[in-house]
Structure 1
Amino acid sequence: MSALVCVARIGAAHGVRGAVKLWTFTEDPFAVRRYGPLLSKDGKRQFEVATAREAKDHLVATFKGVTTRDEAERLNGIELYVAREKLPATDEDEYYHTDLIGLAAVTTDGEPLGRVLAIHNFGAGDIIEIAPLKGATLLLPFSNAVVPEVDLKGGRVVIELPQEIEGDDPSTSRPGLVRKAQEGRDP
C-alpha cells in the first residue's frame, strides 16, 4: 500500500441528521470530495463525503451511511487519509510531509545529523523535527536559510545549523530549539 496522507479530521457532530464538523488540511477545503473514499489511518474504514458546506473555520459535512447524531458523534476525532498518488503534484519547493519524513538529514558539510521525524506548524511557520544520531531532538525552521536543499531522489535534506539565536543566553539555551521560525523564509 502506498503512503497515506492525512487530509482531514472529523470533529464534533453538527445538528441531528448525521452532519459533522470537518477540518481539512488541503489548500482547497472542498478537495476532500474529489479524492474518492477517504480512509482511516489503519486503512480499514472508508468514508465518502456526501455533502459539504463552508462554515467559519471548517466544513460542515455528511458522510454516506451516517444519518443520525449518534453515528456522527462516534466519528469525532477520526483522521481521514488518501493515498499519496491521488494528490496533485507539488510545485517547486513544495513538499508533502510524507515525502520528507524518514529522509536523512545531513549538514552542509555532508556530516550525518539523523532523520526527519516530522514537520510541525504551531502557527509561526513550518518546523522540521530531526531525530539525531545522538543527543536531543532538533526542532528547526523549515526555511531556505536552515534547509537550503531538499533532495527527494537522493533521500536527504541538507541542514544549515544556526550558530546562535538572537537574544538567547548560551548558558540557558536548549540546543536545537529555534524561536525565530519565520527568519529566512521566502514570501
Structure 2
Amino acid sequence: MPPRTSATSVLLGVIGAAHGLKGEVRVRSFTDDPESLGAYGPLHDAEGNRYTVRSARLQKTVVVVRFEEVRDRSAAERLNGRELFVDRSALPEEEDEDDFYQSDLVGLSVVTVGGQAVGTLIGFHDFGAGEIAEIQPEKGPSVLIPFSQAAVPEIDIKRGVIVVEPFAAGLESSDPADDDAPEPGTGADEEASGSGGEPT
C-alpha cells in the first residue's frame, strides 16, 4: 500500500474519472484485494472529508466505487485525483515482525550495501510498471528507484535503515571494477604485445 501520509494514516487508493451518471468513480486501489477498499471503515481525504464505500466492483485495473456521500456525476468529477486514506488503527496488525506498511518506511535513512549514505526515503509511487521508491539526498533533487528485492535487499525498521544495491537501483550506471580495467593500447595490452622491440 503506497502511502504518502502521516504515521497515523495510510493511503488506500486514488480516485480517478467519474463512471456513469449516478456518482460512481474509478479508484486505483492499493489494498491486497482491490474490492476490499471499504473493509476498514470510512475513508478520508487530506482535507478531512469522509467517504463511505457503498459498493465496489472490479473493472479491469481499477475498482468502480459508489460512495454514500457522492450522489451524482458532477460531484464525482470534482473528486478526480483525490487520495483516500484510512486511520492506521483500523488496519490489522502485522503478523510477522518482518511485515510492514510502507508508511513505516517513510523517513528512514537509505544507505548502499557498502554503507554509503544515499538520503531519506520520502514516498512511494506506482506509475503502472511496479512500485517506485522516492529518495531525497542531502543535496539536489530526489531520485526514484525500483522498490524490488534486487534494488532493496534489506529493510531494518528497528535500526531505521533501508539498504539499496546501487546498480540494481539505477544509482550507478557501471561497475566500479570497469574503471580499473586498462584502456585499449595501454597497460596489459602493451605487455601482451611486447615492449615494441624487434621480434625474436
Alignment correspondent of 2:104: 99
Structure 2: how far apart are the matches of 1:121 and 1:32?
17
Deviation track 1:9-36 (CA, whole Å, cap 9, x = no partner) reads 2222222222222221211012112111
Taking structure 1 as the reference length, the TM-score comes to 0.73
Which stretch of structure 1 is more off in the superposition, 124-133 or 26-35? 124-133
Tell me, yes or no, if the aligned pair for 1:116 and 1:128 is still in contact at 8 Å: yes
Pair 1:58-2:69 in alignment = no
Alignment correspondent of 1:133: 138
Once the two structures are TM-superposed, the CA of residue 151 in structure 1 deviates from its matched residue by: 0.7
Alignment correspondent of 1:177: none
Structure 2: how far apart are the matches of 1:117 and 1:96?
14
Which stretch of structure 1 is more off in the superposition, 86-95 or 45-54? 86-95
Tell me, yes or no, if the aligned pair for 1:3 and 1:98 is still in contact at 8 Å: no
Tell me, yes or no, if the aligned pair for 2:57 and 2:65 is still in contact at 8 Å: yes
Structure 2: how far apart are the matches of 1:109 and 1:22?
40
- Aligned residues, how many? 166
Q: 1:33 to 1:149 in 2, by over 3 A?
A: same
Once superposed, what is the RMSD of the aligned Cα atoms? 2.7
Once the two structures are TM-superposed, the CA of residue 102 in structure 1 deviates from its matched residue by: 0.9
Alignment correspondent of 1:119: 124
Structure 2: how far apart are the matches of 1:59 and 1:139?
27
Amino acid at match of 1:146: A
The structure 2 residue matched to 1:47, chosen from 44, 51, 61, is 51
Deviation track 1:92-151 (CA, whole Å, cap 9, x = no partner) reads 765433121110112334333221122334444333332222455443333334322101
Tell me, which stretches of 5 or more residues in structure 2 are unaligned?
1-5, 180-200
Tell me, yes or no, if the aligned pair for 2:7 and 2:103 is still in contact at 8 Å: no
The structure 2 residue matched to 1:24, chosen from 25, 29, 39, is 29
Tell me, which stretches of 5 or more residues in structure 1 are unaligned?
171-187
Structure 2: how far apart are the matches of 1:124 and 1:90?
28
Taking structure 2 as the reference length, the TM-score comes to 0.69
Alignment correspondent of 2:191: none
Bigger radius of gyration: 2
Pair 1:152-2:165 in alignment = no
Structure 1: how far apart are the matches of 2:69 and 2:136?
42
Structure 2: how far apart are the matches of 1:22 and 1:31?
12
